[in-house]
Amino acid sequence: SKHWSDLIYRDISWTAFNRTMVANQFRQTWAVKHVHDLLPFRQRTAAYSSSGETVCPLCNQAADTFDHLLTCSDTARTQWRLQFLTNLQKHCFKSETRPDLKSFLSLTIGRLLSIYSEDPPEFSPSLQNLLRSQSEIGWANLLRGFASYQWIHLQADYIHSTSANPSWRTAYQSAEKWLASLLQFFFDEMYQLWIVHTSEMHGKDVAEQ
């Protein structure tokens, strides 16, 4: 379970989260375990496995967990991270993401994946608010579908300012769909990564375990 305060809980876009869960009903078992961090990584299964192994078999350097899956130093995983970031940039372009949000996403997700290690630049006040809000929710949790309302506010403001006389309500609804699309992108990428991970671990698809 997530140990969020009521304030942080209310800062999450549950509309975008629910849309994403509905869109993933075809892989519901995986999706539910993914959002609750209950997928059978070694760290979790060690208590009832015969081997009791908890270490990642690819790098043998850290416990096998979701967080480690994102940052494992294995060559194949490093290549995946770079491709993931490229795919994210393509998604942002196709979905007409607000320009400063594109670079913000690339930098923050790049840091989450340990692609970038340098300190982030000074963001605008609006992006600083987003950085604070999503940091409180958790950046790995963004990949699980838990996103700050601030994403919607910033994208809606961009839509409102660049479209031909749209109402704020229409812009906001479009921004909600934009965020749900971003979360769906994350789910697609995380699901494919899980399939690869289970294949590496077990030699077959056990994603529904």
Using one digit for the tens of pLDDT, what is the confidence trace for 132-185? 999 999 999 999 999 999 999 999 999 999 988 779 999 999 999 999 999 999
- 3-class SS at 74? coil
Give tens-digit pLDDT for 91-139: 999 999 999 999 999 999 999 998 887 777 789 999 999 999 999 999 9
Give the side-chain half-sphere CA count within 13 A for 207.
17
Distance CA 94, CA 97 (A): 8
